[in-house]
């Protein structure tokens, strides 16, 4: 299994990132160069000569992306937006979605034929992915990616190749990290250190430590105000909350397939779920978990933590995650420094054999899809934009801002010239250019930039968060990685894709809130999954594993 910090995906990620930068340094990524256009989706040669201006015709490009609602508050004052729109002679038309409603909106738009030109979604390898392709809702990428070297390098990643359908790509994956170690902070438990000290709580290691600490936050007046106004554990999302029980079964944290009794099965069909659901029910009934967790919307937990209502939050301890939490904290805690008030622990307790785990995942999360209504001509323009967003030139802009305004460069030396706020600190780039809420994560998440040990990383994150990240990462890389065979997780079989109709998080919530025996409840739920094709999926997956030699 892919089980070590120097495993297969680490090698592939490094190789990919190095190759992307190598391609960028060659200068082939500049969208204004007179490279011949890519072939249209049908695979024919593109028309037109290299001397033609590929951007002569103005185009409107409609886009839906997770943060796009914050991207265009004032188009005229956003220099980055103007630069990119002028560069490609386009206007970006926002079709607003949020993390809370994007799935439903895309479902409605795809049914009505109103899908935007470009959308961000996370449907790779599930039934929606294949049905959209089969129904002609989304279009393929051009068959020849030669004019788009940065996109081509991404599509050549080993854990991307398997998602071709009939030899064609229908999405561009949104890369996250360039090393396995950086994935370690994707799940963590962030705790009020001052509350721990007020209640004389020990460093949590065992299940009992975690359970007692979280329940004490809810019941023992940790803020000392003599009111019953605190909760133990909240979360950024319910998927992250479910990871808190992963000390009982690590693979719950990343929803992976596991090998049990000689065959691969989805984590939720494992016998180890018995202990997991028992522990999660205990945490809930003891008051350790927010009693309203089932109805809390994405990111509401961050506000609860910042407001001093929760003693712990399950979320990412990544640079951007901690920055988001610090921002919420600073709104409500003017006299207490965020870094000095928290501690960051592994998301869950140690397992029976004394192991503690960090996260494992693919090199990307979520993908870009293109409406079937996009013409070959518009697709060429979009591809040029994406190739630019994956270029060395744009990655520098994403990190430093606009050259000549936000920084100057002499040789390898960057001098920051960015505008400062009233507090004397440099303003954050999204404050100056709100369109970074789109471009800063449209083609990639660029999360590797946040981990750089550099002056600009300190400026962008602020020194407290920068140092907190470096300290936490140094501890988390010592943890074991969740044993995961990603080749099996993302293996395609017809029956396996139909399991996307199964929603284990939703069903786990029912068990946690339930009154009946949690083990019996869960076993009955899993029996019900047989009606959704569970046993056939297990059969097909194991046959494919043997046929393709994927057992590790």
- How many of the other CB atoms lie within 10 Å of CB of 290? 25
Reading the block at residue 154, the tokens are: 């991404």
pLDDT surpasses 60 at 2: no
Residue whose tokens read 């017809």:
494
Q: Which residue has the higher pLDDT, 333 or 158?
A: 333
Instruction: Please indicate, yes or no, if residue 306 is contained in any of the structural domains.
Output: yes
Distances (CA, A) of 2 to 136, 162, 481, 521: 35, 17, 8, 32
Instruction: Please indicate, yes or no, if residue 411 is contained in any of the structural domains.
Output: no
Domain co-membership, 379 together with 467? no
- How many of the other CB atoms lie within 10 Å of CB of 5? 16
Instruction: Please indicate, yes or no, if residue 344 is contained in any of the structural domains.
Output: yes
Distances (CA, A) of 531 to 57, 508, 511, 527: 53, 18, 19, 8
Please give the average per-residue pLDDT across 391-409, as a whole number.
97
pLDDT band of 31, cuts 50, 70, 90: very low
Please give the average per-residue pLDDT across 110-127, as a whole number.
95
pLDDT band of 362, cuts 50, 70, 90: confident
Q: Which residue has the higher pLDDT, 210 or 455?
A: 210
Domain co-membership, 242 together with 339? yes
Give the neighbor-by-neighbor strand order of the sheet with 310-315.
Answer: 231-235, 310-315, 188-192, 342-346
Instruction: Please indicate, yes or no, if residue 224 is contained in any of the structural domains.
Output: yes
**Predicted confidence (pLDDT) per residue in 53-85, tens digit:** 999 999 999 999 998 999 999 999 999 999 999
| One-letter-per-residue 3-state SS of 425-465 | CECCHHHHCCCHHHHCCCCECCHHHHCCCCHHHHHHHCHHH
Q: Which domain holds residue 220?
A: 188-358+452-552
> pTM (2 decimals)?
0.81
Residue whose tokens read 């460069």:
409
**Dist. CA 133–CA 402, nearest whole Å:** 39
pLDDT surpasses 50 at 42: no
Domain co-membership, 103 together with 198? no
Asked whether 541 and 260 are in contact (CB, 8 A), the reply is no
pLDDT surpasses 50 at 38: no
Domain co-membership, 158 together with 287? no
Instruction: Please indicate, yes or no, if residue 215 is contained in any of the structural domains.
Output: yes
Domain co-membership, 86 together with 33? yes
Percentage of residues in the chain having pLDDT higher than 90: 84
pLDDT surpasses 70 at 51: no
pLDDT surpasses 90 at 46: no
Domain co-membership, 515 together with 367? no
pLDDT band of 4, cuts 50, 70, 90: very low
> Which H or E run includes 17?
helix 8-25
Instruction: Please indicate, yes or no, if residue 439 is contained in any of the structural domains.
Output: no
pLDDT surpasses 60 at 267: yes
Domain co-membership, 389 together with 293? no
**Dist. CA 29–CA 18, nearest whole Å:** 15
CA angle in degrees (0–180, nearest 5) for 368-370-371: 145
Domain co-membership, 149 together with 53? yes
**Predicted confidence (pLDDT) per residue in 487-526, tens digit:** 999 898 999 999 989 999 999 999 999 999 999 999 999 9
* Total structural domains within the chain: 2
Domain co-membership, 529 together with 396? no
Domain co-membership, 242 together with 319? yes
Phi, psi of 82 (to 5 degrees): -60, -40
Instruction: Please indicate, yes or no, if residue 352 is contained in any of the structural domains.
Output: yes
**Dist. CA 94–CA 16, nearest whole Å:** 31
Reading the block at residue 21, the tokens are: 């930068």
Domain co-membership, 340 together with 240? yes
**Dist. CA 270–CA 259, nearest whole Å:** 9
Please give the average per-residue pLDDT across 398-427, as a whole number.
94
Reading the block at residue 526, the tokens are: 């899993």
Domain co-membership, 259 together with 337? yes
Instruction: Please indicate, yes or no, if residue 407 is contained in any of the structural domains.
Output: no
Output the domain CATH number for residue 155. 3.40.190.10
């Amino acid at each position: 299994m892919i089980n070590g910090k120097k495993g297969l995906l680490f090698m592939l990620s490094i190789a990919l990132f190095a190759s992307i930068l190598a391609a960028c340094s060659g200068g082939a990524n500049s969208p204004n160069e007179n490279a011949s256009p890519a072939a249209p989706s049908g695979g024919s040669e593109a028309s037109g000569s290299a001397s033609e201006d590929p951007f002569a015709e103005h185009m409107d490009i409609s886009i839906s992306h997770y943060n796009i609602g914050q991207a265009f508050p004032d188009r005229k004052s956003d220099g980055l937006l103007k630069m990119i729109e002028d560069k490609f002679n386009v206007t970006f038309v926002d079709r607003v979605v949020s993390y809370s409603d994007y799935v439903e909106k895309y479902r409605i738009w795809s049914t009505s034929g109103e899908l935007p030109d470009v959308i961000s979604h996370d449907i790779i390898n599930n039934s929606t992915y294949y049905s959209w392709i089969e129904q002609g809702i989304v279009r393929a990428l051009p068959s020849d990616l030669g004019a788009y070297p940065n996109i081509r390098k991404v599509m050549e990643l080993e854990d991307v190749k398997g998602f071709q359908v009939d030899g064609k790509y229908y999405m561009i994956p949104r890369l996250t990290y360039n090393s396995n170690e950086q994935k370690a902070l994707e799940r963590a438990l962030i705790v009020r250190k001052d509350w721990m000290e007020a209640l004389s709580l020990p460093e949590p290691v065992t299940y009992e430590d975690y359970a007692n600490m979280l329940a004490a936050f809810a019941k023992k007046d940790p803020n000392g105000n003599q009111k019953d106004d605190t909760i133990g554990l909240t979360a950024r999302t319910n998927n992250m909350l479910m990871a808190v029980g992963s000390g009982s079964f690590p693979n719950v944290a990343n929803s992976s397939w596991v090998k049990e009794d000689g065959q691969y099965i989805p984590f939720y069909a494992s016998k180890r779920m018995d202990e997991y659901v028992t522990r999660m029910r205990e945490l809930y009934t003891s008051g350790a978990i927010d009693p309203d967790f089932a109805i809390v919307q994405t990111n509401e937990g961050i506000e609860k933590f910042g407001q001093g209502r929760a003693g712990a939050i399950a979320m990412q301890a990544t640079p951007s995650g901690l920055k988001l939490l610090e921002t919420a904290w600073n709104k409500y805690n003017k006299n207490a420094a965020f870094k000095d008030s928290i501690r960051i622990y592994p998301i869950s307790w140690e397992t029976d054999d004394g192991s503690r785990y960090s996260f494992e995942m693919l090199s990307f999360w979520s993908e870009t899809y293109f409406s079937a209504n996009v013409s070959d001509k518009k697709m060429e323009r979009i591809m040029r934009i994406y190739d630019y967003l994956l270029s060395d030139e744009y990655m520098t802009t994403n990190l430093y801002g606009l050259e000549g305004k936000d920084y100057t460069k002499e040789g390898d030396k960057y001098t920051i010239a960015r505008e400062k706020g009233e507090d004397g600190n440099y303003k954050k780039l999204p404050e100056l250019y709100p369109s970074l809420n789109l471009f800063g994560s449209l083609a990639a998440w660029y999360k590797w930039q946040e981990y750089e040990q550099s002056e600009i990383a300190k400026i962008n994150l602020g020194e407290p968060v920068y140092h907190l990240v470096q300290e936490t990462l140094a501890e988390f890389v010592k943890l074991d990685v969740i044993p995961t065979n990603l080749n099996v997780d993302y293996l395609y079989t017809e029956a396996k894709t139909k399991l996307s109709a199964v929603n284990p998080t939703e069903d786990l919530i029912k068990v946690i809130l339930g009154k009946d025996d949690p083990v019996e409840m869960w076993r009955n739920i899993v029996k019900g999954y047989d009606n959704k094709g569970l046993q056939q999926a297990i059969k097909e997956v194991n046959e494919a594993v043997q046929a393709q030699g994927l057992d590790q």
